Structure 1
Amino acid sequence: MNSLAKLLAGAAISLSLVACVSGGNSSGEMEIRSGKIEQINPAQITSSHHTGLGAVVGGLGGLALGSLIGNGTGRDVAMAAGAIGGAFAGNEAQKNYDQPKPGEQIIVRLKSGVLVSVTQPVSSVLQVGEAVFVEGSGTDARVVPQY
């Protein structure tokens, strides 16, 4: 059973390292466009966390900790209890991050005439008619005022 615990601990470490890898443009360049705000509408921002990931990581952590306790059947029971308890705790911890947050949908008319919609956290400094920059693209896009 010791080799199974080592295998699962290695899998947990690999999973955590893979979660830290970021994709996308590695050159550090960002597209910036300019325009004026046409509308600001209230919106909800949903979580981007993967459902169930907290339970999986918590379960693997609990399994690894349980493998450190006892020998034989006692160790097996500790590993099972650790995996179940860790999965429950990981799932509860993830629920804190899954709540929708208040945001705003900002519609910007770029200088080219194209309308762009960006949903981001609420910003009290942005107003309709204000000149802004749209930084980035896709889910990473943000609207910031031109000063």
Structure 2
Amino acid sequence: MKAILSWLTVTLATVLISACSAVGSNDGGAGEMEIRSGKIEQISLTQMQTNHDSGVGAVLGGLGGLGIGSLIGSGTGRDVAMVAGALAGAVGGNYAEKKKYDQPVAAQQVIVRVKSGVLVSITQPINPALSKGMNVYIEGSGNNARVLPQGG
């Protein structure tokens, strides 16, 4: 029984630690990026979600709970306390991370009419240098697209 609980503890710790690793969406190499140009038609203030849900809170909470659980009892009871502490700490750490760091932030929705006549809408962090009627570049695509002023 003790071997099973020890194995379960090691497996849980491995799963919690591996939650930190993420596969990147880019290929890591140099490449080309299309930069479109156009004129700003409209700018509206809005909010956007942050990207802070990294799992660090769950990992740190799980490790803390595991450490506290190891101080309780001995033998099989200690192993159970370690597993319970790791689970409770992971849940609490994840909750704390979302509560403190995963809050909406101020942003702007910029609508640009590109040279082809198509309207493109981009939500990005506020850039005070942008204004209606300004000639701009649209760099990137998807969630990584940003509107940048032309010229210096």
Bin for the TM-score computed over the shorter chain: 0.7 to 0.9
Question: 2:136, 2:147 within 8 Å by CA — same for their partners in 1?
Answer: yes
Which of residues 44, 48, 51 is equivalent to 1:45? 48
Q: 1:83 is aligned with what amino acid?
A: L
Q: Matches of 1:25 and 1:31 in 2, distance apart?
A: 16
2:8 corresponds to = 4
Matched length = 144
Cα 1:14/1:82, change in 2 over 3 Å: closer
Q: 2:25 is aligned with what amino acid?
A: G
Q: Matches of 1:83 and 1:3 in 2, distance apart?
A: 15
Q: Matches of 2:26 and 2:49 in 1, distance apart?
A: 21
Cα 1:82/1:60, change in 2 over 3 Å: closer
Structure 1 SS opposite 2:98: helix
How far off its partner does 1:8 sit?
1.3
2:89 maps to 1:85: yes
Which of residues 94, 104, 110 is equivalent to 2:108? 104
Q: What value does the CA root-mean-square deviation take over the aligned residues?
A: 2.5
Q: Matches of 1:31 and 1:95 in 2, distance apart?
A: 37
2:83 maps to 1:74: no
1:24 corresponds to = 26
1:143 corresponds to = 147
Question: 1:109, 1:115 within 8 Å by CA — same for their partners in 2?
Answer: yes
How much identity, in percent, do the aligned residues show?
A: 40
Q: Which structure 2 residue ranges, 5 or more long, are not aligned?
A: none
Q: 1:24 is aligned with what amino acid?
A: N
Deviates more, 1:127-136 or 1:92-101: 92-101
Which TM-score applies when normalising by structure 2? 0.79
How far off its partner does 1:24 sit?
3.2
2:132 corresponds to = 128
Which of residues 34, 38, 42 is equivalent to 1:35? 38
Q: Matches of 1:40 and 1:88 in 2, distance apart?
A: 39
Deviates more, 1:102-111 or 1:24-33: 24-33
Q: Which structure 1 residue ranges, 5 or more long, are not aligned?
A: none
Q: 1:84 is aligned with what amino acid?
A: A
